[in-house]
Structure 1
Amino acid sequence: MTDRDYGFPFPPYSIQNEFMNSLYDTLSKGKIGIFESPTGTGKSLSIICGSLRWLKDHDQDELNKMEKPSKLKKKGGGEKSQEDNNNQEPDWLQSFKVTNKIEQQKETLRKERRNELKRRIQYAKQLEESKASFILGENDSSSLRWKKRHKMNNDGLKNKKKINEEDDNEFLLDEYTSDNDEDEHDKMKLKSNDNSNLSKEVRELLAKLEPTKQTPFDIQEQEDEEEDEQLKIYYTSRTHSQLSQFIHEVNKTMYSENIWTIPLGSRKNTCIHKDIKKLKSVQRMNEACLELQKNSNSTLKCPHLPSKTEKNQWNTFRDHALAKVRDIEDLVQVGEKMGICPYYGSRHALRPAQLVVLPYQHLLHANTRESLGISLKNNIVIIDEAHNLIETITSIHTVTLTYHQTHMAFQQLGTYLKKYRNRLLGKNIAYIRQIVHIIKALIKLLEPTPCDEKKEDKVMGVNEFVHLLNIDHMNMFKIEKYLKQSHLARKLNGFMDKELLKNQQQQQTNTNTTLMPTLTIIESFLLTLTNPDKDGRIVINYSEKENNPEIKYMLLNPAEVFQPIVNDAKSIILAGGTMEPISDFINILLHNTSSSQIDRLSCGHIIPPNNMAVMSIDTGPSGKPFLFRYDNRKDEKLMDEVGQTIINLCNVIPGGVVCFFSSFTYLEQVYQRWNTYQHNNGHTRLTLIERKKKVFKEPRDSNQVETTLRDYAMHIDKSGGALLLCVVNGKMSEGINFSDQLGRGVIMIGLPFANRGSIELQEKIKYANEMNPNQLDAGNEYYENLCMRGVNQSIGRAIRHKNDYATIILLDQRYSHTRIRNKLPGWIGNHVDHCEKFNVAMGNTIRFFKQFR
């Protein structure tokens, strides 16, 4: 084991050293790593210290390479002898030498620019440390300029209503003429190039060997326009709070002093425009922001966006953004003090940044990466909380479209055409007619029918669906290009909002509502029709949505979306507290990657072995078998047996107990049975449970989750015990910390298998079999893994630090099967005590908690 110092903020445990060493080696070899480390083992700090130490070493190696050429002086001979030698050399060798010289000049310029940037950032840091009100003082000329600009914009906003009423061209589409698959400029370049018959790669190589076309002055000018890209680590996680926590952990380490870090967020989290911030929809915020930027009236443009001539304002923001390790809230404060948009300011700081912290959506969606200027080429990608990565990718690229949305989009486009038809130039009318034709076909397909003429649900490939709509003669790629370049959806949404505002003013109402951006949703759906036929399915749902049927494009192949990230990145790390079952990552997400390119590490827990008791129980107190298959979940005697089991366990488990059910429906069935059925003694099982622990239920409404958790915790503090009934894959099964008294016991009732009758699930199982023809029953493996990921996340809610202790109880005979047990996290699965009878489990539980009294 290496003695490399990772700068861990305190003496690391052996498993933390193991994690950091493995991480460092994986990054050094440019491989893909799947790393599992239980919550409470310092996973985040291990990721930070391991990866940033590697980055520091890599930067030092690159610096050493840059300094070597300057140390190599000419040996003997003067300029004349060198010139004579050059005259005798072939042209291609002289060309190579000149090219090499230019590359050295580039390296020198990069080094100078980086040193200059270091000085600027250091100066910004000193300003912040020396002044309470940093960046803009009262007498600062830039502050006065911004105050003047704010006043000008605010005055303009007061007149916005009047100006908009006079300018009815605000939402008119620009002339659209481009129908070509290639840019005309590129075509002309090819025609004028004598080498156009050569391959693209050869032409690029020849272009690089033309030294006379690029001088050091040109290089300087080019790099002034585009800063040198730094090798980066892109760190992404699931939620905004997890990203903030990661930033907090970085600040605990020695790397926080020298690492240039920038967080990326949506406009919802970073916009500082007072009017746009009031909008509730992220989609509306995006559209309003873009419309402000395109407004021809300068007094209506966003006051927080410096013009091109004020580039120094962006640079100053960049310097302060990188001066400290900040989370999104900190970055917003910088933007507010400077009067500069943090959303776009963070993009300006992206190129020189070394650590970029961003949410899943920004990384996993190709169009979003492109719009933000994110380049993964030869950079490091770390995806934390990666256990649901496959489902996340699938969800991001799945689009649902309802009958009501298509009908509304048709009406909105009709209103728009009525206003602008005679003023639309170029091919706008032709393309809008095609889009209207497609929408009419969707309406006809989805239109609800009388009850006695019910339509059957359907599932099909993209090609079959396009043929069904009778739009297979249309070029969907050209329509995709038109929608992107014309910004039709954004123009239409802005126009309809304005029309709604006019109507409200005429009717003297102020409901402060906006219309649904339906064409945006339809645009997203139409873009999916350009995907390869094998990668997705179209699901048409009539039965469950009788009054509002829907069409869903369902992505089946997340590997196709993830592969560009694999191709570009130097190394990828998938990390989580519970990554098992790992086979899905290998067989589905990374099936194009050689197994030799994948490193795996599963760490144990840092708690002592006697701080955890894991038991699988086959039968209840009366001897009834625990087998929670779908067909016997309505068995009332089984519900009673579960109730009596929980009564007994609550009598011996102190503090809080968290109990997980397979679904909200089953939870309600069991709860109703416990609450209504009375035993011979006249008491319900719910009454008997609450004698020992007050019962709380996870609410369906996510807005009430925080209140329920607070009440649960307060009751434990006051009375010493409570029982929380939760649902696997619900809000309380991920990201919630049931440490110490909040979770002394976790009970898993059954195996939460998804409904196999679902059309969507059947297609995914079928696809898994097709993708892995050499693997026996790959579809069933996928089905089991889907279930076990939910189990693993739920039972991982307890034992959150080295001194914590808890019991994990698995109620179902199938947990004793080797196939199922092997899909549990190693730190749990290797310690399962199989109890055939309930009294054995009760004895084990009593002895376990007796040691902590």
Structure 2
Amino acid sequence: MEEGDGSRFPFPFKPYPIQESFMDALYAVLDQGKVGIFESPTGTGKSLSLICGALTWLRDFEEKRRKEADRLLQAEKKKGGSEEEGNGCEKTAVQGEKGGPEPDWVSEFVQRRAEREIVNKLKDEEIKRKRREDMLEKTRLNAKLKHSMKRKNNDDDETEKLLQLSMQGAGSEVSSHEEEEEELIVADYESEEENTLKNRLCGGDDDDDDDLEEEHVTKLYYCSRTHSQLAQFVHEVQRSPYGSTVSLVSLGSRQNLCVNPDVVQLGSVQLINDRCMELQKNKHDKKKKSEREPKRGRGSVMVTCAFSSYEKMMSMRNDVLATVSDIEQLVQHGRATHTCPYYSTRLAIPAAQVVVLPYQSLLHAATRKSSGIKLKDQIVIIDEAHNLIDTVTALHSSEVNGAQVCRAHSQLTQYCERYRSRLKAKNLMYIKQILFVLEGLVRTLGGKVGRNPVTQTTQSGTELLTINDFLFRAQIDNINLFKVQRYFEKSLISRKLCGFAEKYEGSGVTTHSAFTNKENRRTEGLGHFLQNLQSKAAAPPEHQVAVEDRTTMASPMMLVESFLFSLTNSNKDGRVVMEKQACLAHSSVKFLMLNPAVHFAQIINECRAVVIAGGTMQPVTDFKQQLLLSAGLSEERIVEFSCGHVIPPENILPIVLCVGPSGQELEFTFQTRDTPQMMEETGRVLSNLCNVVPGGVVCFFPSYEYERRILAHWETTGVLQRLVAKKKVFQEPKKASQVEQVLSEYTKCIQHSCSTGGGQSGALLFSVVGGKMSEGINFSDDLGRCIVMVGMPYPNIKSPELQEKMAYLDKHMPHLDGRSPGKALVENLCMKAVNQSIGRAIRHRGDYACIVLCDRRYSRGSTLQKLPEWIRTSTHTHSSFGPAFASIRRVWCVCVCVCVCVRNL
């Protein structure tokens, strides 16, 4: 490792000037507690710049705190016995403060008193830390003692248990069944007001628990979209100068971190979460039960997770803090030590300096709380943030269809009937309120509960309502949804209902004597009813998969719960979209979050500084208006930084092509793009490009539908055959599981043609903007020597959701440059998608490519300004095809000559 000459930032090599500027700007944002929007193109070492710049600031910040604490402690020691003298002067000092200019000795005294308060605070924190360490040590010791006693008790009770089993016979099965039933019943519920009153009457106080909670050190929270991007960041940390000194923990979902084979095999995220939480609950319930009844010796066995030993998790927690590890390394460690990585990593959060986690874990308040994430005075870095607004919006939007609401109502009804005699009045009251709400949801969709939603017909149409209007329409405006929300959270009714449905749905219902004949018929009817919901004859094949997946992969009550939580948002911040289809089962209600700033404001207000970074952040006006300024942030606290690329300017040739080879004007509007003339002209453009561009050409279409239509036209007119004669043609697959295979074949074809020459020269890949290959895929080197953008991928302006979003922005956002915020949103969404697609080509310093934007509308000044600066400054607009094609041919002739010379050497 070496540092750049004269650089204050440790770096694995001499940083580029743009990296130095990036780290300087980042350091200033963190030091001044601001919010920064950072744009650094892919291939410029953005991750390393973030790591070295942020960790250098953290190192300096901790060093300043240590020096300040040492200075104050030393000053306290030097003063020695001057405490009494200072106290004697206090009255005089106060009198001096009331009138006239203060003498110097008064100012010195006030400063000494402030320093003394800081010293006392440091001492108090040290005492608390010591108490926490002592308590943790006692907890570990108690756990070891309990483990030893448990083994002894198990040995002593083995004979008694066997005897009990032999005597009880069939009775033990009844006991086991009763205990399983007990797990499904919601516990006695007390509202928040009742709990508060009870604590006051009983003198309950949780302050001691708060004191014993481990203190969070100043840290960096780094988040990105996918686990692969997070793993790449962790690897960059490992090879950075801070790799051996920083304490880093990687967080992930149970699906990614669980090492219990019995749980992992469930597959579904929802099932894995439910089973894990059930096992953890069993562990706590078993502990409480053993304390109450240490020697009952009953025949039932309460299953717990064998990987969640506290001693082992604390040991793994220490290993995690000592060595920088990614998700895969954590899973390997967990399997080797028979320890749960999911909970071990959460134990490591307070002491970690860097916490690496996915978007969802940071941007959702409930997830932050459950994960133990505390943002107060911390640093948050959000990488790959080009779709941050969409992510926040999606996280706080929700949707539920008619089949799921009916299923939730049927399950809860039977649950209530099954356990009515064992449920307390408070639980019954809230369950009846939830049933009433579910009936209201079905009623708004034009159906009735208790009937098969597949056979219930509704009048098709889409309607948008405010939250208040929807509550009135559903006739549930008299229900306090905030109290219902707390009941969901405290009672865990959704999870219990999921367990109830899993146990009794379909088969095995009639074997339990606890059911009456009437109850048996009802529960059996539920099984047949649910099977009918998934009847393939009742729905079109393309719609069946979506409905079945949503029904089977997630608990219906959990989806309903999420939707009801959404309705507690402010009336102006969201809308409810009612979409009625031909039948009730396929109709849906969706909550659309219009103001993501409401939720992002929590992060901004708590954190010391926030950094929003990405390879392509243009246009940044959306981030500023919709996320930052709307969250109450002042313009002075926002810092924008954008750097160029490390490639030489001659390595990129962006061209706006206004006219095709035959003189046809290229403007792919809704009225002209489907005409035969426009489709054939597009084919001529591609044919000419494929004749001169070696390696790979990637062509992006604005939508899957337009790609289908234009390829069908080319096939009938012979254009596609001409393209195949020059380059092998590939098409983006519709299934995500097939992407790797297509990319692999595309890569092999290009590598083979580049090494052998002759015949087909490379490959042509047809893709779609916003599709599976427009983000996260690298078309570096010969894989993407030319990127062609056909038309402008504007979103569907007729979408009710988009229209409502535009109306909201027009009402609440200021007009810029004389244009309405709604229209600006449409163009910004288009250009964000374009920027992501064309950025697939240039991936490192030595890369080069040509970018062809086929649409005269790209030549407009307002549109060009929304291209990344490093592309915009090199862009050339051509109003005729000849000069444009000549410049492309000239560039590739030079490049081919250079490649031939290098190959001969």
Question: Could you say which TM-score interval applies, normalised by the shorter chain?
Answer: 0.7 to 0.9
Aligned to 1:573: 611
Provide the C-alpha distance between the structure 2 equivalents of 1:416 and 1:504, rounded to a whole number of angstroms: 13
Partners of 1:293 and 1:301 within 8 A in 2 = no
CA distance in 2, matches of 1:492, 1:453: 29
| Compared CA separation, residues 703 and 148, structure 1 to 2 (3 A) | farther
- TM-score by length of structure 1 reads 0.86
Task: Return the alpha-carbon distance in structure 2 between the equivalents of residues 301 and 146 of structure 1.
Answer: 19
Q: Look up the match of 1:708.
A: 742
Distance in 2, matches of 1:474 and 1:301, equals: 39
Task: For 1:630-645, list aligned pairs within 5 A.
Answer: 630-645=670-685
Displacement of 1:111: 8.6
Structure 1 residue 188 displacement after superposition: 5.6
Cα deviation for residue 632 of structure 1 reads 2.1
Q: Partner of 2:190 in structure 1?
A: 177
2:776 to 730, 735, 747: 735
Q: Secondary structure at the match of 1:63?
A: helix
Aligned counterpart for 1:45 among listed residues 48, 55, 63 = 48
8 Å contact kept, 2:459–2:582: no
Post-superposition offset of 1:812: 0.2
The answer to whether the aligner puts 1:56 opposite 2:59 as a matched pair is: yes
Tell me how far apart the structure 1 counterparts of residues 264 and 506 of structure 2 sit (CA, whole Å). 18
1:294–1:635 distance in 2 versus 1, CA, 3 Å: same
Q: What residue is the counterpart of 1:778 in the other structure?
A: 821
Does structure 2 retain, via aligned residues, the 8 Å contact 1:403–1:447? no
Alpha-carbon separation, structure 2, partners of 1:703 and 1:851: 39
| SS of match in other structure, 1:300 | coil
Which moves more between the two structures, 381-390 or 266-275? 266-275
Q: Provide the residue aligned with 1:688 in structure 2.
A: 722
**Separation (CA, whole Å) in 2 of partners of 1:584 and 1:96:** 44
CA positional deviation for 1:715: 1.2
1:525-570 CA-partner distances (Å, limit 9, x unpaired): 0001110001110001125887611111000001111000000111
Q: Tell me which residue corresponds to 2:242.
A: 255
Give the conservation status (yes or no) of the 8 Å contact 1:175–1:426: no
**In the alignment, which of 615, 628, 631 is matched to residue 590 of structure 1?**
628
For each residue in 1:695-721, what CA deviation from the matched residue of structure 2 results, as whole angstroms up to 9, or x when unmatched?
111112111111111111111122341
Q: Distance in 1 between matches of 2:558 and 2:50?
A: 38
1:290 aligns with 2:331: no
In structure 1, what is the Cα distance between the partners aligned to 2:797 and 2:388?
Answer: 22
Deviation per CA, 1:114-155: give whole Å up to 9, x if none: 9999xxxxxxxxxxxxxxxxxxxxxxx99x989989x99xx9
Assess if the C-alpha contact under 8 Å between 2:401 and 2:585 holds in 1: no
Aligned to 2:539: none
**How does 1:516-665 map onto structure 2 within 5 Å?**
516-543=554-581, 548-591=586-629, 592-665=632-705
- Matched with 2:891 is 848
| Counterpart pick for 2:857 among 792, 810, 814 | 814
Q: 1:542 to 1:636 in 2, by over 3 A?
A: farther
Amino acid of the structure 2 residue aligned with 1:330:
Q
Which amino acid in structure 1 is aligned with residue 190 of structure 2? Answer: T
Counterpart code for 1:45 = L
* Contact preservation (8 Å) 2:457, 2:583: no
1:756 aligns with one of 797, 801, 806: 797
Instruction: Identify if the C-alpha distance between structure 1 residues 88 and 547 changes in structure 2 by more than 3 Å, giving closer, same or farther.
Output: closer
Inter-CA distance 413–74: structure 2 relative to 1 (3 Å threshold): closer
**Correspondent of 2:213 among 212, 226, 232:** 226
Change (3 A) 1:46 1:452: closer
Q: Distance in 2 between matches of 1:731 and 1:162?
A: 53
- SS of corresponding position for 2:38: strand
Aligned-partner residue type, residue 737 of structure 2: N
Q: Which residue of 2 aligns with 1:130?
A: none
**1:484 pairs with 2:513:** no
Compute the TM-score of the two structures, normalised by the length of structure 2: 0.81
Aligned partners of 2:385 and 2:617 also within 8 Å: yes
**Partner-residue secondary structure (3-state), 1:256:** coil
Q: Secondary structure at the match of 2:29?
A: helix
Counterpart CA distance in 2 for 1:390 and 1:227 is 33
Three-state SS of the structure 1 residue aligned to 2:216 is coil
Question: Partners of 2:620 and 2:149 in 1: how far apart?
Answer: 54
Is 17-26 or 107-116 further displaced after alignment? Answer: 107-116
Partner of 1:445: 444
Would the alpha carbon gap of residues 146 and 524 (structure 1) be closer, same or farther in structure 2, given more than 3 Å must change? farther
* Unaligned segments of structure 2, at least 5 residues: 95-109, 136-143, 162-169, 288-300, 448-452, 512-523, 525-530, 532-548, 755-761, 897-905
Quote the offset at 1:643 in angstroms.
Answer: 0.8
For residues 218 and 510 of structure 2, the distance between their equivalents in structure 1, rounded to whole angstroms, comes to 54
Answering whether residue 469 of structure 2 is matched by residue 472 of structure 1, we say: no
Per the TM alignment, residue 303 of structure 1 is displaced from its structure 2 partner at its CA by 3.4
Which of 49, 66, 81 aligns to 2:69? It is 66
Question: Are the aligned partners of 1:497 and 1:514 in contact in 2 as well (CA < 8 Å)?
Answer: no
Structure 1, unmatched stretches of 5+, are 118-140, 194-212, 678-683
Match of 2:361 in 1: 362
Distance 1:600 1:2, change over 3 A: farther
In structure 2, the residue matched to 1:497 is 502
**Residue 866 of structure 2 aligns to a residue in which SS?**
coil
Task: Report if the CA contact (8 A) 1:233-1:381 is conserved.
Answer: yes
User: What is the CA deviation profile of residues 597-649 of structure 1, one whole-angstrom value per residue up to 9, with x for unaligned ones?
Assistant: 11111111111111110100011111111111122222122111111110110
Give the match for residue 836 of structure 1: 879
Distance (whole Å) between structure 2 residues aligned to residue 824 and residue 51 of structure 1:
28
Specify the SS of the correspondent of 2:706.
helix
Alignment partner, residue 303 of structure 1:
305
Corresponding residue to 2:21 among 18, 21, 38: 18
Partner residue, 1:126: none
Answer with 269-278 or 766-775: which moved more: 766-775
Q: Which moved further from structure 2: 809-818 or 267-276?
A: 267-276
Larger mean CA deviation between 178-187 and 315-324 belongs to 178-187
Q: Which residue is 2:763 aligned to?
A: 722
**Cα distance per residue 1:309-348 (max 9 Å; x no partner):** x5x5443222101111111111222222332211111111
User: Cα 1:447–1:73, aligned 2, differ >3 Å: closer, same or farther?
Assistant: closer
Alignment-derived partner of residue 454 in structure 1: 459
With 60-69 and 569-578 compared, the bigger mean Cα shift is at: 60-69
Distance 1:452 1:42, change over 3 A: closer
Question: What per-residue deviation string (whole Å, max 9, x for no partner) do you get for residues 719-764 of structure 1?
Answer: 3411111111111000000000100000001110011011100001
For the residue of structure 1 that corresponds to 2:654, the secondary structure is strand
Q: Give the total of aligned pairs.
A: 786
Aligned to 2:716: 676
Query: Retained in 2: the 8 A contact 1:66–1:107?
Result: no
1:395 to partner: Cα distance? 1.1
- 8 Å contact 2:248–2:355 — kept in the other structure? yes
| Counterparts of residues 73-92 of structure 1 (less than 5 Å) | 79=81, 82-83=83-84, 86=87
- Compute the displacement of 1:238 (Å): 0.6
Give the 3-state SS of the residue equivalent to 1:631 in structure 2.
coil
One-letter amino acid matched to 2:809: A
Range with bigger deviation, 450-459 or 54-63: 450-459
The residue that corresponds to 2:706 in the other structure is 666
SS at match of 1:427: helix
Q: AA paired with 1:698? A: E
Deviations 1:162-211 (A, max 9, x none): 97534221200101132638732566699x99xxxxxxxxxxxxxxxxxx
AA paired with 2:414? T
Native 8 Å contact 1:654 1:744 kept in 2: yes
Cα distance change of structure 1 residues 170 and 626 upon mapping to structure 2, 3 Å threshold: same
Q: CA deviation at 1:104?
A: 3.2
- State the distance in 1 between where 2:185 and 2:360 align: 31
